[in-house]
Structure 1
Amino acid sequence: MEIDEPLPGHVADALTTLSALDNVPASSTFQEQLEQGLPSLSTYRSKVDETYRTVGIRFIKALTNANFDLTTCYDLGVSIFTIIVPKASGYVTRSDFLRVRLEDCPAVIDIYEKPEPLESYDISLVHPGSCDPGALFPSTLAERAPGIVQWADMDPSVVPDLESHLLSLNQELKVRLDLSPWLSPHPIARKTLALVRGRPDSTAGDPIYSVASALGIDIVVVDEEGHWVQEDSSENRRRRKAFLATDMTEDEHTADRIIDSLKKYNQPVHGIFTCSDNFLVDVAKVADALDLPGNPVSSFEISVDKCRSRLLQDVPGQTACVKDVAELEALLAAPGDGQPPALSPSYPVIVKPSKGWSSECVSKVSSPDDLATAVQKATELHGSRAVIEPFFDGPEIDVNFILRDGDILFCEIADEPPCDADARDATVHATFSPVALNLPSALPQDEQEIAKTTLRDILVKAGFHTGVFHVEARMVDSRCEYRDVGGGVVDLVRKQSPPQNPPSCRLLEINARPAGYRVSVPARHTYGVDYFAAHMLAAAGDHDRLRMLARPFRHTLSPEGSSIPCGAQYFARLVYVPAPAAGTLWWHNPNLSPCAELMSRRTFKSFQLTESEIVLGVDYNKPGDRVEMYTNGVRTYVAHLLVASRRSRYDAIRLGDEVARCYRVAIEPPPAKRRSSAKRSVA
């Protein structure tokens, strides 16, 4: 907007309100000005003189320069902007700090962030106590401030409530920004990290590459020749600093080849990390050989071997690792000297590969007759041994940790609803493929504390001290169980009769890395904590920023009817959508993905009355892709969606169930099956 343009009436009203700061003495502090509040709008309507008009035009110009779209301003209402000013000078911890902390914040339309990562910011530019009086003008503040938030316009009918509305916006900012420092008091060195395996595609990779850029971390990708991020395109140059083509064959020389590639690169590399389970041990070996930050190699060797990790919490006589059915039969046989067999399982038991992920080939065995079948299935995957362990009956949980030197910086617990294999009549062929995830957990607080303490101690016992860890477990003898709570909604509720034994937490699996992107990204939305950022900062040895960014929101929810500070901004449900059949996948609308179609459907608008919404949706396939129903014994997923409710967990689950029912794709059967079925499968 040019300086001599007339000021639109509706913007003038908004600007006169925002210009309240101009009438406060320059000697007062910025906080004092805020605490004095804004006088009524009518007071300022009478003061829109040429001075205020000039200030207003400068303010609009500053907003325009910050790329705000002022055409969205409501013609008859009040437009509201908040200028964000840090409390102290320092160095930018991440350049998208406001966007992360204000993600899914109600009423936010747009966010402007000026600083680049790692650069210094001097608050004397905007602090009234240490700069010229002209800095008090909103226009000057907008030009110099590191961040500005544009809020949804107020309808003219509610303008009399402007003051209370502004106070509520200020409170929302406080619970989001207070705990997590924007600026570091110390200079932050720019570092380069090697990423082993650059992720299979941009959907999985960009959440990592974008975070690295915001942190001021350069990424060098180590992966196979021909990987998608190797191409020298402008997009890939933004993603990574360099690509080191390396033979990634999984053998005893993998770590040596990675070391060789990094040495040939001949540029400083300050750390190394991966998000791929089958390279965790090799990356630890490289870090150890090059004296880079990391956990002991032995710790990763334990975590990736489910036989060894089970021994961290062993059940004598109920646990075994076998290489084949013959070894199983030998363990089940009595030695003949009056001693019991080495393995005397109490059914049901779990059989799973010692190496694997995503519940691949995991079986629940309820009868001795099915044990050999399950062992054979498990040993055929990756040439693994089979782990035989008790089935721990109780609610399953995902527990995510950020540790620094063994101390918990952040921990959150999510509930995983029952899957097919949890049914009492489940067969050996039923899968443990998850159907959803609920955040935050509804377990009693004392049980959550038991889980946190038990699993943290197991991680430390394995030798881990710093980083991000995704741990799966079950609460045995919990006071809660899954039941229908009305309307077809199944959730955790208190048992009618409490168990006789005290609750205990039983480890299922250690993943010494963040959860997959479909879980890590929703956790960032819910808590404001970015696991990928923490993973990289730990790898870089940047413990100061790791501590600063591992802080959740300060919201309070009431999962049990009482106010509990849990750090979550809402009740969330992550919905997994499995492929309904094997074949070629097609969208019903070729120009609109199924997730986008769901997010635009008017039938879900009614849920907004319960403060519920679809937060995000990700489709994994494009039209024409071939999909299978199962991959290595687990369900193949075609999408995930995150839904949320600010009112209740019940509403979040109800909306999630509705979204799962309404997700629709068409599956065209393979040619061999088309003769018997002329119709497409629809889900």
Structure 2
Amino acid sequence: MAYKVVAKPVDGSEASWTVSWKIVGHESKQSFQSADITFEQSSAPVDFALHDAGVRVFLESAKGDRSELQPADLGHPQAFEFLLETLEATGEKGPRAIKLVTPHDKGNIIRSDIVPQRMQDLEYIEKTTAFAQPLQLFSGEEWTASTEFATLFKSSAGVIRLRDIPTTQITDAALQVLESELHNRLPTPLVVAGLKRRTIVFLEGSEVLPNRGGCAARFYGAAESLGIDLVVLAVEGHWLQGSEYAHWRKAFIPIEFGFDADFPSRIVAAVRQYDGPVDGILTIFDSYQIALSIAATELGLPTEPTSAYEVATDKYKMSAFEGRKSFVAASAEEAMKIAQTEDLPWPIIVKPCRGFGSELVFRVDNIEQLAAVAGRMNSARHGTEFVIEHYCDGPEVDINFVVYDGKILFHEIGDEDPKSAEDGSDSFHERDCCSPTELPKPEQAVLHDSIAKTLNRLGFRNGIYHCEARVDDSTVEWRRTESNAPELVPRSTHSSRPPSSWLIEINPRPPGCNSSDVIETTWGVDYWAVLLSIRLHDSDRVRAFSQPYRNGPQYFADMIFISAAFDKSKNGVWESGEVTEELVQRRPDLGRHISKHLTFMRKGDSMPHPSTGVNTFVAYLNVFSRRSRAHVLDIAAAVRKELRIEYS
């Protein structure tokens, strides 16, 4: 159909745009239907501004009949604004095109932002906007050639605008490519009949503000889009208790945290304070999983076995569960006694039993080094006990599993860049993680099968499990390229033993923020939405959100972790600004390959020296390439080189 959109100011000449649309044909089993709308400028006075006060917008038929368009006519509050932005962007260079998307079936939308969430990082897309409300009921009514312009907007779940394209012919081709990407990316189903608001109690263990890192924005944003109310349990005075982020939670209940025997009872009492139904209870903080599981059992809410958490959150117990020779100590004296009386499998790893963030993890080659590091292990952050076990030097990976009803719905593997400790320093902090993995297929299968069996033996049947492992006796090893980028190449010396899985740890939660983000953009799977749905045993949404892109990962991706690095003579004061944003602006050639980034520090912030073993991450960047894995690693090396960081 062809119409005109006319913008009429209070005074002066009006502007107009030709608008035409068509309904894209679709299959009966398809989860969505779409409409392509093209805008082309007909006339516009000099300095015409659509957002000026008093400007009215009309839709004019081929016969010249006009009907005024009001914001309410287009449904979602953002729809009218999106239309005005599109008209403003349609100039003399050529047409602008948008694609409206709606579910093909009747039911409640699985998440309100499903269209922008699944359409990230496509170079020919300028903007995507959600038009759906959480749990909105869609009729599934068929769009036809006679469906009116306003009805298309009002019944859409989301919209996509293409970048500026010079000709109609190229625009049509781009819309066809976009349609194929919708087939590739959108999950099935998009709607589920009978979805209702549910309530989860969330034990919030982080006090990091959303703009300073952490997973808050992604976690609470996912809950909002799914129509899930969160009752937050956190310390008195937490930032979620105030008004600025009150929209993220339905209620806030202060609670005293701790590792004492009474903590589960305090959780139970706090939940019972809430005057309303509770459908689930959840935390994403490893150190609180045991207490939460005990509390959930008492409350009659779904949980995984407490015994499984007791092993998974203790690195000594996990090592012993895997059948490895390992030792536990709670002091330097105990460690030295072990070294003097036991045949330690040198080289060894020494790390806290309940550690996190790769803090206080050391490779030790002899008894003298053990004496030096053992005295540093008594940490208020991680407890007194630490594990001593053999150091496996095979390639390290992150391998994540979505498990539901005991079945693996999705998993992916990323290759961890060798830690600086493997180059001679004493730090095991993360540097880079590249996905998808380049490990040989047989070694990927060894990791998958072995860790899946461990999860099953522990009794984990529902959840997301962020695992770290190495491949013992791998057939490949890391080397540096001319650009100093790491690459996996055939091992220079071969082992007589077949490759095997060396499980380092199981974290019963999604990986951290930037790690989950890069998996979402690479594969399409949002772990936070999956986690929330699992806790509610919402089977339809668990399975929908666990579906990766049908064509596989959309690109090669690398997570870059930037840790503090400064001389001990300095005080560790951050003298830079937002270094990641500065890089994007200064080097747009690199910026076009950066999906997400964040600088955690602000000018004047202080941090401990890396030699303390404390996590000193200052920023992260997720970079990608559609060309090759080697290309994305070269980009990552260039990004590291170009970051401008100063300390005093």
TM-score, with length taken from structure 1 = 0.82
Partner of 2:146: 134
Distance 2:412 2:157 in 1: 31
The Cα shift of 1:631 comes to 7.9
Q: Deviations over 1:548-592 (max 9, x none)?
A: 11111123xxxxxxxxxxx32111111111123363645556xxx
Which moves more between the two structures, 577-586 or 650-659? Answer: 577-586
Q: Deviations over 1:335-387 (max 9, x none)?
A: xxxxxxxx322321111121211122111111233233333333556443221
Alignment of 1:212-611 (within 5 A): 212-231=223-242, 233=243, 235-315=244-324, 318-332=325-339, 343-380=342-379, 382-423=382-423, 426=424, 430-495=426-491, 498-555=494-551, 567-581=552-566, 583=571, 585-586=573-574, 588=576, 593-601=578-586, 603-605=587-589, 607=590
Q: Deviations over 1:474-496 (max 9, x none)?
A: 01122221112343322112335
The Cα shift of 1:66 comes to 5.5
The Cα shift of 1:151 comes to 1.1
Q: Secondary structure at the match of 1:85?
A: strand
Q: Secondary structure at the match of 1:596?
A: helix
Distance 2:318 2:536 in 1: 27
Question: Contact 1:352/1:375 (CA < 8 Å) preserved in 2?
Answer: no
**1:67 has 2:82 as partner:** yes
The one-letter code sitting in structure 2 at the alignment partner of 1:269 is: V
The one-letter code sitting in structure 2 at the alignment partner of 1:437 is: C
The one-letter code sitting in structure 2 at the alignment partner of 1:356 is: G
**1:629 has 2:609 as partner:** yes
Partner of 2:176: 167
Equivalenced residues, count = 607
**1:642 has 2:626 as partner:** no
The Cα shift of 1:327 comes to 4.0
Alignment of 1:64-103 (within 5 A): 65=80, 67-68=82-83, 69-70=85-86, 71-103=88-120
Q: Secondary structure at the match of 2:623?
A: strand
Question: Contact 1:7/1:57 (CA < 8 Å) preserved in 2?
Answer: no
Question: Contact 2:36/2:99 (CA < 8 Å) preserved in 1?
Answer: no
Residue 474 and residue 90 in structure 1: after superposition, are their counterparts in 2 closer, same or farther (change >3 A)? same
Q: Secondary structure at the match of 1:666?
A: coil
The Cα shift of 1:29 comes to 8.9
The Cα shift of 1:537 comes to 1.8
Distance 2:274 2:418 in 1: 48
The Cα shift of 1:545 comes to 1.2
**1:661 has 2:646 as partner:** no
Question: Contact 2:112/2:136 (CA < 8 Å) preserved in 1?
Answer: no
Q: Deviations over 1:618-675 (max 9, x none)?
A: 111222211223385144011111111111111211111111222223222xxxxxxx
The Cα shift of 1:292 comes to 0.7
The Cα shift of 1:57 comes to 9.1
Q: 2:189 aligns with which of 181, 188, 195?
A: 181
Q: Deviations over 1:433-458 (max 9, x none)?
A: 11111121111222112211111111
**1:51 has 2:62 as partner:** yes
5+ residue gaps, structure 1, are 42-47, 335-342, 556-566, 669-683
Question: Contact 1:470/1:512 (CA < 8 Å) preserved in 2?
Answer: yes
Residue 198 and residue 74 in structure 1: after superposition, are their counterparts in 2 closer, same or farther (change >3 A)? farther
Q: 1:210 aligns with which of 221, 238, 248?
A: 221
5+ residue gaps, structure 2, are 41-58
RMSD: 3.2
Distance 2:66 2:549 in 1: 35
Residue 579 and residue 249 in structure 1: after superposition, are their counterparts in 2 closer, same or farther (change >3 A)? same
Alignment of 1:180-199 (within 5 A): 180-184=188-192, 186-197=193-204, 199=206
Residue 36 and residue 311 in structure 1: after superposition, are their counterparts in 2 closer, same or farther (change >3 A)? closer
Which moves more between the two structures, 406-415 or 58-67? Answer: 58-67
The one-letter code sitting in structure 1 at the alignment partner of 2:565 is: P
Which moves more between the two structures, 104-113 or 386-395? Answer: 104-113
Distance 2:571 2:277 in 1: 47
Q: Secondary structure at the match of 1:667?
A: coil
Distance 2:446 2:27 in 1: 49
Which moves more between the two structures, 634-643 or 64-73? Answer: 64-73
Q: 2:135 aligns with which of 118, 123, 133?
A: 118
The one-letter code sitting in structure 2 at the alignment partner of 1:626 is: S
The one-letter code sitting in structure 2 at the alignment partner of 1:127 is: W
Structure richer in helix, relative to its length: 1
The Cα shift of 1:293 comes to 1.1
Question: Contact 1:59/1:140 (CA < 8 Å) preserved in 2?
Answer: no
Q: Secondary structure at the match of 1:377?
A: coil
Distance 1:303 1:75 in 2: 61
Question: Contact 1:431/1:634 (CA < 8 Å) preserved in 2?
Answer: no
The Cα shift of 1:50 comes to 5.2
The Cα shift of 1:299 comes to 0.8
The Cα shift of 1:52 comes to 8.0
Partner of 2:49: none
The Cα shift of 1:53 comes to 7.2
Question: Contact 2:413/2:437 (CA < 8 Å) preserved in 1?
Answer: yes
Distance 2:27 2:443 in 1: 49
Distance 2:414 2:444 in 1: 10
Q: Secondary structure at the match of 2:82?
A: coil
Residue 586 and residue 393 in structure 1: after superposition, are their counterparts in 2 closer, same or farther (change >3 A)? closer
Q: 1:618 aligns with which of 598, 611, 625?
A: 598
The Cα shift of 1:30 comes to 12
The Cα shift of 1:543 comes to 2.7
Q: Secondary structure at the match of 1:286?
A: helix
The one-letter code sitting in structure 1 at the alignment partner of 2:355 is: G
Residue 488 and residue 329 in structure 1: after superposition, are their counterparts in 2 closer, same or farther (change >3 A)? closer
